């Protein structure tokens, strides 16, 4: 804007669409009168004399969405391709900040990586009425497993956590075992990222977003919200065997949809619930130590007064 504020200068923006919600989409669709907008599809270009075979290009594109965006200049939200829509994500991000933590139940999801991808801890708080809100999201790159587990320990100490799900695929085997040793295997579950398990977790996340039962306040993020938006939109769906959707995400320098999977793990943990144990009172009775083992003999005096 400073450049074109000088009289007589123009700015020209040329691009093919890449979904909705980005700056180019806003420029092309906003009703603001600031821009002169022009669209040239492959059909327009060929009609104006461009020597191209449209049928051949379409066969080469193969993917209908690629053809629509790259050659016909259509802005697609890729509904039916992207697992989560842009509107669902924005609605969750509009949530107000959470009040100070007061001991409500918490569910934790952790996507683990050693190098390349990110390690992410997502902490979801039960704020009532079946709604979960993001209390905290920690993003790590290249941290040693010991440091990652230390962060997880700190989350457990600071919250009334009920259940946690941790990525157990590949190198996640050791951290899961160690977390279970420290905190109990009944509340800490390891998850192998099979196609079935990924779909189960992704459905848990999608169901909550669609029902407005998952809030993602900006204040819970330690980084710009665009990173979370990109991860949530990175997972796409393709038809699989027997009509079962197959979930895919491209790996790039920013990770492998790691924030998405940490949230999905936390949502799945919340869906499991916590075992409820029944207790009944009994009449007061005294317990005598056993004297047929050395430990019992050694502690007999301590128990004598019980």
Predicted confidence at residue 273, as pLDDT, reads 47
Question: In sequence order, what E strands does 157-248 have?
Answer: 160-167, 188-191, 214-215, 236-239, 245-248
219-257 pLDDT, tens digit per residue, is: 888 888 889 998 998 888 776 665 566 788 766 655 678
The structural domains of the chain, with segments of one domain joined by +, span 1-76, 86-272
User: Crossing angle of helices 225-234/258-272, nearest 10°?
Assistant: 80
8 Å CB contact between 247 and 258: no
Tokens of 2: 């400073």
Predicted confidence at residue 272, as pLDDT, reads 55
Q: What is the pTM of this model?
A: 0.65
pLDDT over 50 (residue 163): yes
Helix (H) or strand (E) holding 123: strand 119-128
Helix/strand/coil for 168: coil
Q: Taking residues 134-156, what's their average pLDDT? A: 94
CA distance 100 to 220: 11
| Exposed/middle/buried for residue 180 (C-beta within 10 Å: 0-12, 13-18, 19+) | middle
Question: In sequence order, what E strands does 52-118 have?
Answer: 105-111
pLDDT over 90 (residue 294): no
**Domain 86-272 fold:** Nucleotidyltransferase; domain 5 (3.30.420)
Mean pLDDT of the chain: 83
8 Å CB contact between 18 and 70: no
């Amino acid at each position: 804007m400073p450049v074109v504020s000088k009289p007589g200068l123009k700015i020209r923006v040329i691009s093919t669409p890449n979904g909705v919600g980005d700056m180019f989409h806003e420029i092309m669709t906003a009703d603001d009168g600031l821009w002169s907008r022009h669209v040239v599809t492959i059909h327009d270009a060929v009609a104006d004399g461009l020597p191209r075979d449209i049928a051949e290009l379409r066969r080469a594109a193969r993917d209908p969405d690629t053809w629509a965006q790259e050659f016909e200049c259509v802005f697609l939200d890729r509904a039916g391709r992207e697992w989560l829509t842009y509107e669902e994500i924005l609605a969750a991000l509009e949530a107000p900040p959470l009040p100070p933590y007061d001991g409500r139940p918490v569910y934790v999801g952790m996507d683990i990586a050693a190098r390349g991808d990110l390690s992410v801890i997502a902490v979801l708080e039960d704020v009532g009425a079946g709604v979960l809100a993001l209390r905290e999201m920690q993003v790590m790159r290249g941290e040693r497993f010991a440091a990652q587990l230390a962060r997880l320990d700190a989350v457990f100490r600071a919250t009334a956590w009920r259940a946690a799900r941790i990525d157990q695929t590949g190198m996640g085997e050791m951290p899961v075992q160690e977390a279970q040793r420290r905190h109990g295997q009944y509340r800490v579950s390891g998850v192998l990222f099979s196609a079935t398990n990924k779909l189960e977790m992704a459905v848990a996340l999608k169901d909550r977003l669609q029902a407005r039962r998952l809030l993602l306040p900006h204040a819970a993020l330690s980084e710009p919200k665009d990173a979370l938006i990109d991860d949530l939109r990175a997972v796409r769906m393709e038809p699989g065997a027997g009509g079962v959707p197959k979930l895919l995400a491209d790996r790039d320098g920013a990770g492998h949809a790691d924030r998405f999977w940490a949230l999905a793990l936390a949502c799945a943990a919340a869906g499991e619930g916590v075992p409820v144990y029944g207790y009944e009172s009994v009449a007061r009775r005294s317990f005598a130590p056993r004297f047929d083992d050395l430990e019992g003999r050694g502690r007999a005096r301590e128990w004598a007064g019980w």
